[in-house]
Amino acid sequence: MKRVRERSIALCAVAMVALLLTGCPAKKKPSVGAEAEGMGQGGLGGGSLENFKKGMGPSEGGPLQDVHFDYDRYDLRQEDRSTLQANAQWLKDNPKAKVEIEGHCDDRGTVEYNLALGAKRAKAVKDYLVSLGTASDRLSTISYGEELPLCREDNEACWSRNRRAHSVVLQ
């Protein structure tokens, strides 16, 4: 019961932060040009929280590839650096694109710990993309901790899918 309450409180906190950050700007129609082509899920229109609000689960895919993390870690593995180099090239080829990097965790650990770990994972990805030449002001980060999992089974294969940084093209 306590765990359910903690999750509910954390999800409400994430939703409140998202609402505060988005405010009530004038509606903009996304332009469909070279940058927007082929974005599919994870493209224009918001990330995992937006999908959750629409009754959909978090997404995988989009023009930028997810990177995954070892248990209780936020350092980038070598294979993920290669993935991020490809993501940096896409960002270079699409200079108007802005990206939100979502940090996610598996469901082991407290809600608070996982929110902090997700933030560190998203920051590690942002810092690496900036080191590759992407302008910092094109990248934002958010942590969802364990609150928006891709998979809900209690096994390593599922947990490893949830330990990720997911990049969403916002515009």
pLDDT tens digits for range 133-150: 999 999 999 999 999 999
Mean pLDDT of the chain: 79
pLDDT computed for residue 144 by the predictor: 95
Question: Long-range contacts: 11-19, Cβ < 8 Å, 24+?
Answer: 11/147, 14/49, 14/115, 14/142, 14/144, 14/145, 14/147, 15/49, 17/142, 18/49, 18/142
Sheet architecture: strand order including 67-68: 67-68, 164-169, 99-104, 139-145
At the topology level, CATH places domain 2-21+43-169 in 60s Ribosomal Protein L30; Chain: A; (3.30.1330)
Higher pLDDT, 33 or 89: 89
Confidence of residue 52 (pLDDT cuts 50, 70, 90): low
Residue 23: per-residue pLDDT:
44
